[in-house]
Structure 1
Amino acid sequence: MATVIEVARRRGTQIQWALPLAVYALSRLLQLTFVWWMADNGEVRSRLLAWDGGHFVRLAEEGYPTGYSYTTEGALTGNGLAFFPGYPMLVRIVHLATGLEVGTAAITVAWIAGAFAAVLLCALGTRLYDERVGVALTALFCTQPMSMALSMAYSEALFVAMVAGMFLFAHRGDWLLAGVFGLGAALTRPTGAAAALGLAVAAAMAVHQSRRAARDPDESDPPKPIWQPIAAAALALAGVPGYLLWVGLRVGDLGAWFDIQTAGWGTTFDYGRSTFEFVRTALRTGDGWIQVSIAWMVIGVVVLAAVAVAKKVWIPLQVYGLIALVMVLGQGGYYHSKPRLLVPVLLILVPPAIALGRAKPRTAALVLSGCAAFGLWYGSYLITVWHYAI
């Protein structure tokens, strides 16, 4: 009997960290192989540090600018203040602590953060459903069309690690850790506001349950203190407004962050008008397969979100996912950045993960292999052959 218990414990430990790490490592190896194969002269490093990666590296080296930036013609343009501080500051810490060149430190932080994201996401899926769903969720996350961002000097990997950890600890009732991870998410990307609202819903559910337990004389467990979930939610909710306020005070204009985003990347929130027009145009007269493929992805994620709601996914995860999806699809900007911006919207991965978790192992393996082959190739194509920023 003791042997059986020990085997079960070891198997549980393997599911918790070894298997998601193996999935993550294999996906990164295949991804980098694709990049090496498709890039000019097999140049991988420059591709991993491209576009926004350059901004993050400069922030880690030089810190934040003190005000607006302008073109030579005097027009307002984007600068480093558009980027939240979690990832570049962590890169700076690693650079100073280890002596790694800043670009190398940026890639290292992203890779390590991605490993944590895989482990925490698998644990979250396992807790909400079961082990097979947890593994399928991790595999889908690591191989989705722009999972390439997990290998680049971008903040997506760190953000997902924070969000997955936040929801995992909230579901366990470890509210101090949930609040810390929620604040970390809020200081890493603007969609941290959606994560904080998801945590606030989880906290409200916990407070309601605690009060109901206090009124129930038959409840065997003593009611938990309600200040912990409230404090966790408040901590996470303070992150995004705190950074926006800091930028406003630094520049001398409380709307500075929004002005910088609009000037540099055209990401004004227009309630989805730009996205709708893009999809309609792409499907009617689109002349490039990237444009058309992204249009179908946008349609697909909306459908998956609706299915997730119908399947009654854990409500805090629903709240985060739906708000994050609205933030991505509701803003203007470069259409070819949409697949990357959708990487942290974990809700859309839950329905296929449940289906794969319920499928026969051979069927699940074949489907995941096909998804991985396309997703890993697609992301590699977009940062090597495709000529625009992602």
Structure 2
Amino acid sequence: MKTSTTTAISAQRISPETQHTAPAAPTAHPPKGAPRTPARNTWPHRAWHAAGPGLVIYGASAVLHLVLLALMSPPGAPGVHDKLLSWDGDLYRAIAQDGYPDSFTHDADGKVAGNNLAFFPAYPALIRAVHALTGLGYGTAALVAAHLAMIAALVAVHVLVSRLYDRRTATLATILLACAQPMAISFLMAYSESLFLALAAATLVAAHRRAWLTAGMFGLLTGLARPAAAAVAVALAVAVVMHLIRERRLTWRPVTALVLACAGTPAYLWWVGRRLDRPDAWFTIQRAGWDTRWDNGSSFWHFLGYAFTEADGWVPVSTAVLLLALIAATALAWQRGTWPPLLVYGTAILVLTLGQSNYYHSKLRLVVPALIFLIPLARGLSHARPRTTAIVLTAASLFGSWYGAYMLTAWHYAI
């Protein structure tokens, strides 16, 4: 009797009739003619979610930089267009327009002088592509290429920091990158910093996603943009080692990515040496034209001593103070659990810049792609009150944009 009752209850539980005894809730339909809300997983929404913050930050930062640069340019001086094409920008334009020289350049005394072979080919190639696609003059094409590369860089940085932390921290870091750095204006100039950062950040994003061959290709292109791509190769090596330790097996994709990332810069140095029939041709040109060589930071320490004891101008003192602040912020990033490849990349950029004998007033420009020293401040602001965050971002952005405009309008040497 008990068995029969149990069987009957079990049958009632699984009976289709029993399952549908309660009426289903009516499906809510929007009123006829009401606008439809787009699905959040559509391609346009995903694209805007990834690229939107970078585009907005680019627009705001470009307006701020260019307006301040225009306001600070004295009457009768070269205009904004010419300022953004000054110094190395004109050399990049010349490479895109006329190509590279096929021999050493010599001064009036017969000594080897610097020439355009010192500059890596990725950015001139982008200028030439913009010129071919748009018909713009090479100078304007150089500026368009830099702006396009800056957009790509800001989007890639925002995606990277979002993956590592959250979107709020990513937005703050991207604003600091584009506006608050003292020489962030170089991203808008006909210089290779914006392209280098775009390729470096894309390499790190691909490595974090474990898209190894993509990371390797971006690393290869980074190596054709600037010799500082050694920092990207080392960072990718750290990511590969971390992956191999985690997987406990050797696979070909991450190893291939690392080989590709290490190939770009040596390939260009080899090409220059072959073109001039001298293996050390690129290094010879660098030393002759810009006195750039590895000196273990000796020139940087001498500069600090000069800035704090003898210098009587704003630029050397401010440069020394700002560089020390960047070093301190980088050291702080080492204590905050930063993703090791990003930590290694940014620190290596800083070490490569400070460890060479390049001009002291160029160092703030050379470190703008490093990114790492912005992370502690961005993380701190992400937990601050909105009012505090707004005040800090506004003050930092105004100072950084003003500083860059000052260096282009009042400082009489190359940046």
CA distance in 1, matches of 2:396, 2:356: 28
Structure 2: 5+ residue stretches without partners? 1-27, 30-35
SS in 2 for 1:250: helix
CA shift, 1:14, in A, is 4.6
1:272–1:332 Cα contact (<8 Å) kept: yes
Which residue is equivalent to 1:218?
A: none
CA distance in 1, matches of 2:133, 2:110: 39
Which residue is equivalent to 1:355?
A: 380
Which residue is equivalent to 1:20?
A: 54
Alignment of 1:197-216 (within 5 A): 197-211=234-248
Which residue is equivalent to 2:11?
A: none
1:164 is the counterpart of 2:201: yes
Q: Give the TM-score, by structure 1 length.
A: 0.93
Structure 1: 5+ residue stretches without partners? 213-224
Which residue is equivalent to 2:86?
A: 50
1:15–1:131 Cα contact (<8 Å) kept: no
Q: Match for 1:131 among 164, 167, 174?
A: 167
CA distance in 1, matches of 2:38, 2:235: 36
CA shift, 1:361, in A, is 2.3
How many correspondences in the alignment? 378
| Counterpart residue identity of residue 27, structure 1 | S
SS in 1 for 2:325: helix
CA shift, 1:11, in A, is 8.0
| Counterpart residue identity of residue 36, structure 1 | A
CA shift, 1:365, in A, is 1.6
CA distance in 2, matches of 1:363, 1:228: 46
Worse-superposed segment, 15-24 or 260-269: 15-24
Which residue is equivalent to 2:212?
A: 175
1:123–1:168 Cα contact (<8 Å) kept: yes
- The superposition leaves residues 186-225 of structure 1 with CA deviations (integer Å, 9 ceiling, x where unpaired) of 110111111111111111211222227xxxxxxxxxxxx8
CA distance in 2, matches of 1:20, 1:239: 27
Q: Match for 2:405 among 366, 380, 384?
A: 380
Max Rg structure: 2
| Counterpart residue identity of residue 49, structure 1 | L
Alignment of 1:1-390 (within 5 A): 6=39, 14-41=48-75, 43-143=79-179, 144-211=181-248, 226-390=251-415
CA distance in 1, matches of 2:38, 2:138: 47
| Counterpart residue identity of residue 181, structure 1 | F
Q: Which has the higher helix share?
A: 1
- The superposition leaves residues 130-168 of structure 1 with CA deviations (integer Å, 9 ceiling, x where unpaired) of 111100110011011101101100000000000111101
| Counterpart residue identity of residue 50, structure 1 | S
Identity of paired residues, percent? Answer: 43
CA distance in 2, matches of 1:384, 1:65: 31
1:179–1:235 Cα contact (<8 Å) kept: yes
Q: Give the TM-score, by structure 2 length.
A: 0.87
CA distance in 1, matches of 2:37, 2:139: 48
- The superposition leaves residues 216-245 of structure 1 with CA deviations (integer Å, 9 ceiling, x where unpaired) of xxxxxxxxx821111111101111111111
CA distance in 1, matches of 2:45, 2:328: 35
| Counterpart residue identity of residue 263, structure 2 | A
Worse-superposed segment, 178-187 or 368-377: 178-187
| Counterpart residue identity of residue 344, structure 1 | P
| Counterpart residue identity of residue 287, structure 1 | D
CA distance in 2, matches of 1:334, 1:269: 13
- The superposition leaves residues 79-102 of structure 1 with CA deviations (integer Å, 9 ceiling, x where unpaired) of 111001100111112212321100
CA shift, 1:20, in A, is 2.0
CA distance in 2, matches of 1:226, 1:285: 56
| Counterpart residue identity of residue 317, structure 1 | L
